[in-house]
Structure 1
Amino acid sequence: MRFLIAGGFFALSGVYYGPAEDLAEYRGMLARLGNATEVTVEEVGWMESLEANANGQPLEMSGEYPYHDTFFAKSLMSPALSADAIAAFVDYWFDQAADLPFTRNWYVIVDLYGGPTSAIGAVGRDATAYAHRAATLLKMQFYDRVFFGAYPDDGFGFLDGWVAAVVRAMPAARFGMYINYADTSLSRREAHEMYWGENYERLARVKAVWDPEEVFTFPQAVTPA
Structure 2
Amino acid sequence: MVPLLLGVAAIFLGATAQNVSVLQQTLSAHGVAAVYPTDKDFKTVSKAFNERYTFSPIAVAFPTSVAQVSAAVAAGAAQNLEVVARSGGHSYIANGLGGRNGALVVDMSKLKAITVRPANNTAIIETGNRLGDVALALNSKGRAIPHGTCSYVGIGGHSGYGGFGFTSRAWGLTLDTVKSATVVLANGTVVQASSSANPDLFFAIRGASPSFGIVTSIEVQTFPAPPSAIVFQYTWNNLDIKTASNGIASFQTFAATNIPPEFGAELVFTSGDQKGRVNFGLTGAWYGDANLLNSTLAPYLKTLPKNPSSTTITPGSYINSVAVLAAPMALNTSSAPDDPNTFYTKSLMTPSGAPMSNGAITSFVTYMANQGFSSDTDWFVEVELYGGTNSAINAVPLDSAAFAKRDTLFTIQFYASSSNGDPPYPKDGFSFLDGMVASIIDNSPSNWNYGAYLNYIDDRLANAAKLYYGSHYQRLQSIKAALDPKDTFRFPVGVA
Q: What are structure 1's unaligned runs of at least 5 residues?
A: none
> For the residues of structure 2 that align with 1:62 and 1:201, how far apart are their CA atoms?
41
Aligned partner of residue 221 in structure 1, secondary structure: coil
Does 1:15 find its partner at 2:285? Answer: yes
**Paired residue for 2:364?**
89
Instruction: Map 1:16-165; keep pairs closer than 5 Å.
Output: 16-25=286-295, 26=297, 30=301, 33-34=304-305, 35-62=307-334, 65-79=337-351, 80-101=355-376, 104-115=377-388, 117-133=390-406, 135-146=407-418, 147=420, 148-165=422-439
C-alpha distance in structure 2 between counterparts of 1:209 and 1:61, whole Å: 38
Q: Which amino acid aligns with 1:100?
A: S
Structure 2 stretches lacking a partner, 5+ long = 1-264, 273-278
Question: Contact 1:3–1:10 (CA<8 Å) still a contact in 2?
Answer: yes
Q: Which position in structure 2 is the counterpart of 1:168?
A: 442
For 2:401, the aligned partner's letter is: T
> 2:267: which partner in 1?
3
Instruction: Give how far 1:32 is off.
Output: 6.7
3-state SS of paired residue (1:121): helix
Larger Rg belongs to: 2
The answer (yes or no) to whether the contact 1:31–1:38 under 8 Å persists in 2 is no
Q: Which moved more, 1:57-66 or 1:206-215?
A: 57-66
Q: Aligned residues, how many?
A: 218
Which amino acid counterpart does residue 162 of structure 1 have in structure 2?
Answer: M
In the other structure, the counterpart of 1:215 is 488
Instruction: Answer with 148-157 or 51-60: which moved more.
Output: 51-60
After TM superposition, the structure 1 stretch with the greater mean CA deviation from structure 2, 29-38 or 68-77, is 29-38
Deviation of the 1:27 alpha carbon: 5.3
Which amino acid in 2 is paired with 1:170? S
Whether the 8 Å CA contact 1:71–1:145 is kept in 2: the answer is yes
What TM-score does the superposition give when structure 2 sets the normalisation length?
0.42
> What do the CA deviations read for 1:142-176 (whole angstroms, capped 9, x no partner)?
00001233112222100000101100111231110
What letter is aligned with 1:97? G
Greater length-normalized contact order (CA 8 Å, ≥ 6 residues apart):
1
* Mapped partners of 1:163, 1:219: distance in 2: 21
Deviation at 1:20, TM superposition (A): 2.2
Distance 1:57 1:113, change over 3 A: same
Greater share of residues in strand: 2
> Is the CA contact 1:73–1:182 (under 8 Å) kept in the aligned structure 2?
yes
Instruction: Confirm or deny: 8 A CA contact 2:345 2:457 kept in the other structure.
Output: yes
**Identical-pair percentage:** 38
- Tell me the secondary structure at the aligned position of residue 383 of structure 2: strand
State the shift of 1:73 in Å: 0.7
Residue 141 of structure 1, CA deviation? 0.2
CA distance in 2, matches of 1:205, 1:150: 40
**1:179 pairs with one of 444, 454, 457:** 454
**TM superposition shift of 1:65:** 4.8
For residues 443 and 303 of structure 2, the distance between their equivalents in structure 1, rounded to whole angstroms, comes to 28
Deviations 1:45-84 (A, max 9, x none): 2212222332331222247852211111100000221111
The aligned amino acid for 1:41 is I
1:37 Cα deviation after fit: 1.7
**Is the 2:375–2:432 contact (alpha carbons within 8 Å) kept by the matching residues of 1?**
no
- Equivalent position amino acid for 1:76 in 2: L
Structure 1 residues 30, 55: closer, same or farther in 2, change over 3 A? Answer: farther
Q: Stretches of 4+ moved more than 6 A in 1?
A: none
